[in-house]
Structure 1
Amino acid sequence: MKMAIILNIQVYLCMFFAVLDIEGLHNKKEKAAIINDFLRQPGWKNINDVEFINYWRQKYEPRDLFIERVTLYNCDNYIRQATIFLGCSYYHDLKLIFLSLIKLQEHCLHLLNSCDDSAHNCTVTLLTKMFEIIPMAKFMKGALYAIEKYHNSPLNTLTRTRFILSSLLTNIQEDESLLTTLRISSDSTRDVLETIAKILFARRLELDEEKLFCQLKYLDFNSLCNIWNMEFNDLRYRGKYQEFFIFLSDKIKNLILTTIRKKYIELGFKYDSSTSETFLLGLPPTNVKEDIAQKFTINFVQNTNEVNAQEENQQHDVECELKDDSVILIEYPKGMAPFNKYI
């Protein structure tokens, strides 16, 4: 009898600690409040390039992020959905930017093979764009990590679980060391173009591996290129452009700036230059346009001209404008100054 009582007590203790362990999987109210406010930032409603995401063999549409209020019971699930959803949206932008860089590389090579004197300037422009995607990758990775930090089991701490875009964004940043060694001269232009082609090919392969998470809205890049070609020809006819690579460079720059604005600044991410980390503020939604334009500057492109606020390609869901009357100052983050050594 005494033994039976002891066994019963042990069983009850096991059940008690099991319940505690299960309840411990829930998140905290403070974190749930931060994530709830984060997902109520107006910028989330403006991300329209992802049709749905795949998470635990279930499909989630963007609207699923806003159906319920985030609580300590569903917080982890919403965090993971938000991470993958934003990662898929970044995937869309990276796909566009890489395809644009590849087209620019091909154009530079065509100029070189044609013995065109502008091949050098084209290659310098291409290398500049390669450097400009490095801080963008830093912001993207920082944003994804900033969301996951509130999860009970952040993806960056799980060695057996794939973290969307993490490896690719890390590799883009590590490309900086190789790109810095490149020198462009009359004898080295072809080698530089071939090196960049190899980098772009490798990153495109890595990017394609991430599509298992994402179902994007249809993007016809060939049609987009045709539109760009017609636009360029029209501008050249009116005497506004002399070189196609300048036109492509501006397109890539606008894609990068728009990505940072719409999917970093307007989502409420903040960059701490002293620690080079991205974080979320536990604040309610604000007037993003006023708050960002007045108080927040991202260190990204130095000596850039004002971005053309009228560019837009709605047909292909390519946002190429900054919908704000004010000019946003973009600077490089600490330790990521622009490079001129290769010229």
Structure 2
Amino acid sequence: MFSLNIVKLIFLLFYFILYTKAKTNSQKTIDQLDKLLMYPGWKNIKDIKYIKYYDAKYYLQNLIKTPTHGLQLAHKIRALTIYLGCTYAKVMNNLFSIIFNCIQFFKIQNDLINGCIYTEELINIISKLIVPMATLMKGAMDTLDLLHNKPWATFKRNCNHYIMSRVLGRIGDILDKLNHRTLFSVDISVYIATLDLIYSFFNEINTYLEHDTYQYCELVPYDENYLWNKWVQEYKVIHNDKKFVFLQFLSRKIKNYIMEEIQKKYFELGFLFDPITEETFIPTSESLIYPEIEFK
């Protein structure tokens, strides 16, 4: 009888320690999440009506305003991660549309010299702007997801397959494919083949993006070719019809768009980037941090 009471006491003590530790960790996560949602960028996300998760609709403003309690923490993290994924889906969809329009425009020229310039510049945009942007976005999603007690990213059967994660994670694979291409050629077909490879790669990625968007996101309606059409019209007003000048104009527009989106939908949401480890993290200090970081 005495030994049985000792066992019960040890069990209760062990349970109390585990419960206290879990409660402490939970409160730490709540504080960290609430501080993250104080960053102004969350209130400026306007391109998503709502997200769908387990047959329920979640509205961002309600998630921001509703106080976070222990029982709601897990669902709130899931919903915010999906919101972030939907937001990034809209950005990537715009970029894919621009890439497809660029390729169509370049191929129509059927010019060897300009074909080399066009293709090289498009590869430069992809490698120096689009791939790093996708890396930052995936880092933000994964960091937010890791606040959950059962992160999606750690599921063996579903590793890196939650909304938008596989899309963002695979974009960098284009660099390996392009590294095997030799562009300096007197044959225009070499450049056409490279453009076809880029189109095929991003078109496949876009299929996954559309699947995830349909499953989780209710976007505010918009024209997918809006940016391209806007830039073409703007160019016609301020420039003549020199093709290389248009290419420079287009590169600048894409760079400015990516810089603005990273600022609004990464840094202004409270995510920080460690250039040494190349990882995204969420600040845990008592005060909010407004980083002055240049996206390179």
Residues of 2 paired with 1:41 and 1:91: CA distance?
21
1:117 positional shift: 3.5
Q: Is 1:213 matched with 2:212?
A: no
Conservation of the 8 A alpha-carbon contact between 2:140 and 2:280: yes
Conservation of the 8 A alpha-carbon contact between 1:271 and 1:277: yes
Tell me the TM-score normalised to structure 2 length: 0.84
User: Which range moved further: 42-51 or 83-92?
Assistant: 42-51
Distance 1:182 1:277, change over 3 A: same
State the partner residue of 2:139. 142
Residues of 2 paired with 1:60 and 1:27: CA distance?
25
User: Which range moved further: 103-112 or 222-231?
Assistant: 222-231
Question: What pairs up with 1:15-54 in 2 under 5 angstroms?
Answer: 28-54=26-52
Identical counterparts, % of pairs: 29
Q: Is 1:129 matched with 2:125?
A: yes
Distance 1:259 1:285, change over 3 A: farther
Amino acid at match of 1:281: P
Residues of 1 paired with 2:196 and 2:246: CA distance?
20
1:24 positional shift: 6.0
1:177 positional shift: 1.4
SS of 1:282 mapped into structure 2: coil
Pairing partner for 1:96 from 85, 94, 103: 94
Distance 1:229 1:330, change over 3 A: same
Amino acid at match of 1:172: I
Alpha-carbon RMSD: 2.8
Structure 2 unaligned spans of 5+: none
Greater RCO (CA < 8 Å, at least 6 residues apart): 2
Residues of 1 paired with 2:175 and 2:244: CA distance?
30
Conservation of the 8 A alpha-carbon contact between 1:108 and 1:119: yes
Residues of 2 paired with 1:139 and 1:226: CA distance?
27
> Which has the larger helix fraction?
2
Residues of 1 paired with 2:113 and 2:177: CA distance?
26
Conservation of the 8 A alpha-carbon contact between 1:100 and 1:248: no
SS of 2:150 mapped into structure 1: coil
Conservation of the 8 A alpha-carbon contact between 2:174 and 2:198: no
Amino acid at match of 2:274: D
Question: What pairs up with 1:1-343 in 2 under 5 angstroms?
Answer: 28-112=26-110, 115=111, 117-131=113-127, 132-161=129-158, 162-185=161-184, 186-187=186-187, 188-211=190-213, 212-237=215-240, 243-284=245-286, 286=288, 291-293=290-292, 297=293, 329-331=294-296
* Pairs aligned (count): 278
Distance 1:241 1:201, change over 3 A: closer
Distance 1:222 1:144, change over 3 A: closer
1:26 positional shift: 9.9
1:100 positional shift: 0.5
Conservation of the 8 A alpha-carbon contact between 2:51 and 2:83: yes
Conservation of the 8 A alpha-carbon contact between 1:37 and 1:283: no
Conservation of the 8 A alpha-carbon contact between 1:52 and 1:61: yes
Conservation of the 8 A alpha-carbon contact between 1:38 and 1:285: no
SS of 2:71 mapped into structure 1: coil
Cα shift readout 1:194-244 (whole Å, capped 9, x = no counterpart): 21121121111121111111111111134543332221100114x998533
Amino acid at match of 2:84: L
Conservation of the 8 A alpha-carbon contact between 1:83 and 1:144: yes
SS of 1:215 mapped into structure 2: strand
Residues of 2 paired with 1:36 and 1:93: CA distance?
25
